């Protein structure tokens, strides 16, 4: 979906699961959020269940008891409002760098979506204040560290809950950092006085890790198409063959992602003059291309399938109402373990693994361009005057450094668990940590593909007068029109890499290729 379409949409919560586009539209494009017509009816109904327990002498977790290992403490009626305030204040204990605005907005939307289901026992005024905060563009300051991915993303969600109380620090719609009370006054929002169960309802969810998963999947789907484009450019530029991408060969191994990637490569290399120049087997003595060229659909295809598995898990989570305790459809208030982030944590780790491997094969294709013994007639390092010029030598170093970092980030977070809350919470998912490192992995993959794009484009132009395929030529043209110069003597290379990074991240590379091929898979 285009940015314009995402920006224009209104997202409705309280009726079915949110879509990926809904999350992206709100997180990145400030789309307006509204409640479904009958959402408040269910919210009021479940709130009445909680209020019926408010004055009960029997202990009810989250209503009249402490939390975690302190759940055995029975809280008297007169202290129960203070209990909720104290919960939020004490749990807003994050530390470290500030988390990105889009992540916090995704987190807020997903918590609002759960509150709007009526399964949490929240009051309507609290829900409406949360909604008003999001729509006003007010973003609580959330920190890097503080969530173990179990009992919910406690610290990140608590910083948002603190804002609803008129406390803490936020950024307004223009990005200015200020006390919440100041931002609320400017926006005409009245803080809420939390009541029974509301503190827990605001902080007990997987919203932070889920929001980051949705954003990462959105980015990876685009990057997978870019990876097919850069692979096609590399195969073409290194005088490789597209015969290995024929459909019947891939039908022999019916992995769905592999077939889609091979189909893209066929479309991208169609009508390549460079490829035609060495189609005669007597003129071309190579029997097979290197794995990084020949096996690109197998690797990118496996990444595709992993991403789509992660998307299914995210879809299940988007349809969930995660809280503890919950108000069931038949009016019971029940403790549960649905806040445990294991399902989300695992796929976040899976995606870091495949991002590292997709970057690794991209770097190997780039390296082949630079070695005069393997690049089939091009100058060493694609330099204008090798020795005087270094060409793309250090661009590949940059790639290699990023790939090495991605391999470190591929070490799973979800295999770790540090017991907390006096051993009451004795097994945690570390899903938030998995999400944070995946964001760095996606950024690194973007940069690795950008360097391959820049290098392959240079090689294709150095094959002149042979003409590349119309689709890959369109990508080279988009790169040049964006300001990355044609081959020549050495110049300041970092800005060219950043130009390529922006083209990859924005979708412009895909758009350029699709202007010739039509929609790619």
Same domain for 186 and 240? no
Reported pTM: 0.94
pLDDT at 3: 42
Same domain for 146 and 290? no
358: DSSP letter: H
Same domain for 224 and 146? no
Round to whole Å and give the CA distance between 314 and 452: 30
Same domain for 234 and 193? no
CATH code where residue 400 lies: 1.20.200.10
Per the model's pLDDT, the better-predicted residue between 289 and 64 turns out to be: 289
Same domain for 112 and 198? yes
Q: Quick one: angle between helices 393-409 and 342-370, nearest 10?
A: 160
| Structure-token pair, residue 469 | 């395929």
Mean pLDDT of 186-205: 94
pLDDT at 4: 40
Tell me how crowded residue 316 is: count the other CB atoms within 10 A of its CB: 12
| Structure-token pair, residue 376 | 């089939």
The model's pLDDT over 481-492, given as tens digits with 9 standing for 90+, comes to 999 999 999 999
Q: Torsions phi, psi of 517, nearest 5?
A: -85, -20
Specify whether the CB–CB gap between 342 and 382 falls below 8 A: no
Same domain for 398 and 281? yes
Same domain for 196 and 224? no
Report how far apart, in Å, the C-alpha atoms of 406 and of each of 101, 223, 302, 339, 441 are: 23, 15, 18, 29, 6
Give me the DSSP letters along 46-71: HHHHHHHHHT-SS--TTTTB--GGGT
Residues marked active site are found at: 61
Of these ranges, 13-17, 51-55, 204-208, 355-359, the one predicted with the greatest mean pLDDT is 355-359
CATH code where residue 155 lies: 1.10.275.10
Handedness of CA 216, 149, 165, 110 (dihedral sign): positive
Q: Please, which residues have CB within 8 angstroms of residue 141's CB and are 6 or more apart in sequence?
A: 98, 159, 168, 169, 170, 171, 177
Mean pLDDT of the chain: 92
Same domain for 403 and 292? yes
Domain presence at residue 340: no
What percentage of the chain exceeds 70 in pLDDT? 93
Domains contained in the chain, number: 2
Question: Tokens 């898979």, residue?
Answer: 521
Among 205, 236, 258, the domain-final residue is: 205
Note the Cα 403 to chain centre separation in Å: 18
Specify whether the CB–CB gap between 318 and 11 falls below 8 A: no
Domain presence at residue 332: no
Same domain for 280 and 132? no
Same domain for 305 and 165? no
Q: Which domain holds residue 256?
A: 213-324+350-517
Cis peptide before 325 (omega within 30 of 0): yes
Domain presence at residue 339: no
pLDDT at 352: 98
Among 158, 186, 205, the domain-final residue is: 205
Mean pLDDT of 424-443: 91
């Amino acid at each position: 979906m285009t940015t314009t379409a995402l920006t224009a949409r209104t997202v409705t919560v309280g009726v079915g699961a949110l879509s990926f586009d809904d999350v992206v539209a709100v997180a990145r494009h400030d789309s307006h959020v509204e409640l479904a017509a009958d959402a408040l009816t269910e919210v009021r109904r479940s709130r009445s269940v909680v209020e019926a327990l408010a004055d009960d002498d029997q202990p009810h977790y989250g209503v009249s008891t402490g939390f975690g290992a302190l759940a055995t403490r029975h809280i008297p009626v007169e202290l129960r409002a203070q209990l909720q305030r104290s919960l939020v204040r004490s749990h807003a204990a994050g530390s470290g760098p500030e988390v990105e605005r889009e992540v916090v907005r995704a987190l807020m939307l997903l918590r609002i979506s759960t509150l709007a289901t009526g399964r949490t026992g929240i009051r309507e005024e609290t829900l409406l204040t949360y909604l008003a905060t999001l729509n006003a563009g007010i973003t609580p300051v959330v920190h890097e560290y503080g969530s173990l991915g179990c009992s919910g993303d406690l610290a990140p969600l608590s910083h948002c809950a603190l804002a609803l109380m008129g406390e803490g620090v936020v950024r307004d719609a223009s990005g200015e950092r200020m006390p919440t009370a100041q931002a609320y006054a400017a926006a005409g929002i009245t803080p809420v006085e939390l009541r029974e169960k509301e503190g827990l309802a605001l902080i007990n969810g997987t919203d932070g890790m889920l929001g980051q998963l949705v954003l990462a999947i959105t980015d990876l789907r685009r990057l997978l198409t870019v990876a097919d484009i850069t692979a096609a450019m590399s195969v073409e530029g290194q005088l490789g063959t597209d015969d290995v991408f024929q459909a019947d060969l891939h039908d022999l191994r019916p992995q769905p992602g592999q077939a889609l990637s091979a189909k893209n490569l066929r479309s991208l290399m169609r009508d390549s003059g460079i490829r035609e120049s060495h189609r005669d087997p007597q003129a071309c003595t190579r029997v097979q291309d290197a794995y990084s060229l020949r096996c690109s659909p197998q690797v990118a295809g496996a990444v595709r399938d992993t991403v789509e598995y992660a998307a299914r898990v995210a879809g299940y989570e988007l349809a969930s109402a995660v809280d503890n305790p919950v108000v069931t459809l038949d009016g019971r208030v029940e403790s549960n373990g649905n806040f445990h982030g294991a399902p989300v944590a695992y796929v976040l780790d899976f995606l870091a693994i495949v991002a590292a491997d997709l970057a690794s094969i991209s770097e190997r294709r780039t390296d082949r361009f630079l070695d005069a013994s393997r690049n089939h007639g091009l100058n060493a390092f694609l330099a204008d005057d090798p020795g005087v010029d270094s060409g793309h030598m250090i661009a590949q170093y940059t790639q290699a450094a990023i790939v090495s970092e991605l391999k470190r980030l591929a070490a799973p977070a979800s295999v770790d668990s540090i017991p907390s809350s006096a051993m009451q919470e004795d097994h945690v998912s570390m899903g938030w940590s998995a999400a944070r490192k995946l964001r760095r992995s996606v950024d690194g993959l973007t940069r690795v593909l950008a360097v391959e794009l820049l290098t392959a484009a240079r090689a294709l132009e150095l094959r002149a007068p042979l003409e590349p395929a119309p689709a890959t030529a369109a990508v080279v043209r988009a790169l040049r029109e964006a300001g990355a110069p044609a081959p020549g003597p050495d110049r300041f290379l970092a800005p060219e890499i950043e130009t390529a990074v922006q083209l990859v991240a924005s979708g412009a590379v895909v758009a350029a290729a699709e202007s010739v091929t039509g929609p790619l898979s």
